[in-house]
């Protein structure tokens, strides 16, 4: 029997003092022009949270529509401090010591947007590389499991946000981890 804890990692790895990805530092964002890159729940929640202290927030979305929940989309679209820019790609950052602006491209061509901070919310990929040659997984790397969280190898279980079917949410990860642990206990003969 085995059970490994791997978790998720950011989809985009960037090391730069101008970028904030997971941690929001309100003092650094207050009264700044903010760009949020992403179209999911996390991107819009970040924009909504920051809209109280940032009065000029632009959300850049690569695709033609947002992937966030409809209620979150409605709140963001209605907020006077948030502008959602669909079909828009981030091309470059400008500024030497501090971020001054970003270059974006969209259906209407390329343009420069002034900003002092950039928050990247492009999603996550599962940390499953160690199992890629051993366990069956989907195209994104999520390990395929059945209803008991058994994998493609007998006696190996997986749970959390690395499994498919699943949801990339803490509550699901915790619950499925507990269910996988229950399946392991049953497999080794302990009644739960």
| 92-96, 164-168, 174-178: least confidently modelled range | 164-168
* Same domain, yes or no: 22 and 103: yes
**Cis peptide bond prior to 182, omega within 30° of 0:** no
* pLDDT: which is higher, 155 or 175: 155
Q: For the segment 27-67, what is each residue's pLDDT rounded down to a tens digit?
A: 677 788 999 999 998 899 999 999 988 999 999 999 999 98
Does pLDDT of 4 surpass 50?
Answer: no
Higher pLDDT, 143 or 164: 143
Residue 46 domain boundaries: 13-120
Distances in whole angstroms, Cα of residue 172 to Cα of each of 29, 81, 159, 165, 175? 31, 32, 9, 11, 5
pLDDT for position 18? 45
Give the model's pLDDT for residue 24.
47
Residues 35 and 68 in one domain: yes
In a domain, 1, yes or no: no
Tell me phi and psi for residue 83, to 5 degrees. -115, 125
The pLDDT of residue 21: 44
Query: Are residue 82 and residue 45 in the same domain, yes or no?
Result: yes
Question: How many helices and strands, by DSSP H and E, does the chain display?
Answer: 4, 12
Per-residue pLDDT at 173: 72
CB distance 62 to 40 below 8 Å: no
Q: What is the CATH number of the domain that holds 146?
A: 3.50.50.60
Residues 112 and 134 in one domain: no
Residue 142 and residue 106 share a domain: no
Same domain assignment for residues 87 and 131 = no
Q: Are residues 103 and 73 in the same domain?
A: yes
Render pLDDT for 92-134 as a digit per residue (tens, 0 to 9).
999 988 899 999 999 999 999 999 989 888 877 778 888 888 9
> Domain tally for the chain?
2
Percent of the chain with pLDDT over 70: 80
Same domain for 113 and 145: no
The per-residue pLDDT for 161 is: 76
Euclidean distance between the first and the last CA atom of the chain, given in angstroms as a whole number? 17
Asked if residues 72 and 46 have their Cβ atoms less than 8 Å apart, the reply is: no
pLDDT number for residue 10:
54
Note the pLDDT of residue 31.
Answer: 81
Same domain, 35 and 108: yes
Pair (108, 149) in one structural domain: no
């Amino acid at each position: 029997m085995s059970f490994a804890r791997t978790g998720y990692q950011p989809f985009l790895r960037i090391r730069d003092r101008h970028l904030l990805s997971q941690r929001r530092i309100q003092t650094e964002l207050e009264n700044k022009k903010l760009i949020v890159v992403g179209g999911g729940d996390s991107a819009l929640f970040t924009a909504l949270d920051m809209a109280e202290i940032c009065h000029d927030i632009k959300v850049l979305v690569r695709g033609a529509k947002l992937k966030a929940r409809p209620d979150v989309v409605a709140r963001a679209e209605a907020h006077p401090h948030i502008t959602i820019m669909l079909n828009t790609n981030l091309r470059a950052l400008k500024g030497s010591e501090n971020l001054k602006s970003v270059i974006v491209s969209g259906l209407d061509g390329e343009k420069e947007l002034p900003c002092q901070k950039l928050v990247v919310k492009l999603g996550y990929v599962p940390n499953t590389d160690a199992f890629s040659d051993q366990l069956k997984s989907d195209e994104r790397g999520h390990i395929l499991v059945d209803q008991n969280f058994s994998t493609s190898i007998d006696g190996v279980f997986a749970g959390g946000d690395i499994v498919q079917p699943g949801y990339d949410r803490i509550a699901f990860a915790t619950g499925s981890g507990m269910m996988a642990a229950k399946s392991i206990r049953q497999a080794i003969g302990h009644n739960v």
